[in-house]
């Protein structure tokens, strides 16, 4: 009978342990709509961003910004019931910025804090830009650029673009 090399056995055991651990992790999809706050917190942990809502409820966000590409959110009613957990850094959700007036507080309460805040442009075209790192169409390593005007007080436009943090990926692929 032949035995596996100790290094190979250790690698296989580590891989099996990692798979078991990842399989046991709960995700936002495991939180049913209309769950009590205690169930949401038990599944998701403490949110890393919250803001009060006009109806007395709370917006809660679990974000992986500035380096991660995902964030999840829900709205708790004043009675502590979550509407539904959702992935919030998506093209569909960013389209909400097309309607109405969005202040920095509104943007933060919907998407969480940005990965980075910069200024772009010259003269009168100089604007504050918030960057959200995300997986566009669940495939592309992207940034959503949210422009907040010269004074940084209201969204003027937004658009996706490639995330420069992943440019080296293409260099190794020969592109």
Please indicate, yes or no, whether residues 97 and 75 belong to a single structural domain of this protein: no
Average pLDDT score, the chain? 87
In a domain, 80, yes or no: yes
Q: Higher pLDDT residue, 12 or 165?
A: 165
Please indicate, yes or no, whether residues 96 and 74 belong to a single structural domain of this protein: no
Cα gap 85→22, rounded to integer Å:
20
- How many structural domains are present in the chain? 2
In a domain, 84, yes or no: yes
Cα gap 117→95, rounded to integer Å:
20
The count of residues in the chain is 175
Where residue 29 falls among pLDDT bands split at 50, 70, 90? confident
Please indicate, yes or no, whether residues 173 and 100 belong to a single structural domain of this protein: yes
Please indicate, yes or no, whether residues 29 and 109 belong to a single structural domain of this protein: no
165: domain CATH number is 3.30.1450.10
Please indicate, yes or no, whether residues 81 and 143 belong to a single structural domain of this protein: no
In a domain, 11, yes or no: no
Which domain does 58 fall in, by range?
25-88
Is residue 121 within 8 A of residue 115, CB to CB? The reply is no
The confidence score (pLDDT) of residue 169 equals 53
The confidence score (pLDDT) of residue 152 equals 96
In a domain, 16, yes or no: no
Residue 102 confidence (pLDDT) above 90: yes
b/e 33-50 (16+ beta carbons within 10 angstroms → b)? eebebeebeebbeebebe
| pLDDT one-digit tens code per residue, 32-88 | 999 999 999 999 999 999 999 999 999 999 999 999 999 999 999 999 999 999 999
Cα gap 152→118, rounded to integer Å:
10
Please indicate, yes or no, whether residues 140 and 75 belong to a single structural domain of this protein: no
Please indicate, yes or no, whether residues 165 and 94 belong to a single structural domain of this protein: yes
Where residue 167 falls among pLDDT bands split at 50, 70, 90? confident
Phi and psi at residue 26, to the nearest 5°: -85, 150
């Amino acid at each position: 009978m032949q035995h596996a090399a100790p290094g190979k056995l250790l690698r296989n055991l580590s891989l099996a342990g990692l798979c078991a651990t990842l399989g046991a992790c709960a995700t936002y999809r495991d939180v049913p709509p209309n769950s009590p706050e205690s169930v949401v917190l038990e599944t998701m942990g403490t949110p890393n961003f919250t803001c009060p809502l006009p109806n007395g409820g709370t917006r809660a966000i679990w974000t992986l910004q500035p380096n991660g590409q995902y964030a999840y959110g829900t709205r708790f009613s004043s009675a502590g019931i979550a509407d539904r957990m959702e992935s919030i850094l998506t093209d569909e959700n960013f389209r909400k910025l097309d309607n109405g007036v969005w202040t920095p507080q509104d943007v933060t309460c919907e998407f969480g804090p940005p990965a980075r805040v910069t200024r772009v442009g010259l003269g009168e075209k100089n604007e504050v830009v918030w960057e959200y790192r995300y997986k566009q169409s669940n495939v592309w390593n992207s940034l959503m650029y949210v422009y907040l005007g010269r004074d940084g007080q209201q969204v003027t436009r937004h658009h996706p673009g490639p995330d420069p943090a992943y440019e080296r990926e293409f260099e190794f692929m020969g592109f």
